[in-house]
Amino acid sequence: MNALSGAAIFVVQTLISLYLVIVLLRFVLQLVKANFYNPLCQFAVRATQPLLKPIRRVIPSVGGLDTSSLLLSVVIQALLMGFVLMVTYGTFGDILHLLMWAIIGITSLFLKIFWVAMIVMVIVSWVAPNSHNPAAELAYQISEPVLAPFRRIVPNLGGMDISPIFAFLAIQVIQSFVMPPLAAHAGMPQELWRMI
């Protein structure tokens, strides 16, 4: 791979990955029942609507889950991985493996969204508690469903909420000890694993 193809992969991967995060964020926002009047939620809706509108006509929501945005996330991830394989090896790869790898990539990205939301929530709770910033409110709404089970198990230590520590540990264990063996078992090339 020469410098030009490396630069092309970097630019395309960065732009598509940003859009992929927005599409998956839209799924997460509906999953956690976030306030869709939040300006950041409105941005996610407007940015994803052109691609999701035709898909929604064919793919209905299932059990209250926004399956069309989840499907679009998997397709975008598979296309991005196919592009990286094409530039790197000169082949697109087979569809079944691309779909498996895309699902692994989306799962990893899903966990990262919760990780980042919890980081933002923790920092805001220390720096500006009771902030009504749209980003802070959104981070709280995304984090709360992840933290709620840990809050039931971990006692409150005199006003100090340590449940995020256990949530961070759980996500890190999954990212470090579940995802890599799963990717290796699925035969995911290193170039694709590095991008997720």
- For the four alpha carbons of 95, 97, 98 and 102, in that order, the dihedral sign comes to positive
Which pLDDT score, from 0 to 100, does residue 88 have? 82
pLDDT per residue as tens, the chain (196 positions): 577 777 877 888 899 999 999 999 999 999 999 999 999 999 999 999 999 999 999 998 888 889 999 999 999 999 999 988 988 888 888 999 999 999 999 999 999 999 999 999 989 988 888 888 899 999 999 999 999 999 888 877 777 788 899 999 999 999 999 999 999 999 999 888 887 7
- 30, 35, 38, 42 alpha-carbon torsion, rounded to 10°: 30
DSSP of 124-157, one letter per residue?
HHHHSTT---HHHHHHHHHHHHHHHHHHHHSPPB
**Can you read off the two tokens belonging to residue 86?**
């094409």
**Can you read off the two tokens belonging to residue 146?**
């992840």
Return d(Cα 17, Cα 196) in angstroms, integer: 10
The one-letter amino acid code at 133 reads N
Q: Which residue(s) pair with 62 in the sheet?
A: 65
**Can you read off the two tokens belonging to residue 166?**
């256990």
Which pLDDT score, from 0 to 100, does residue 106 have? 97
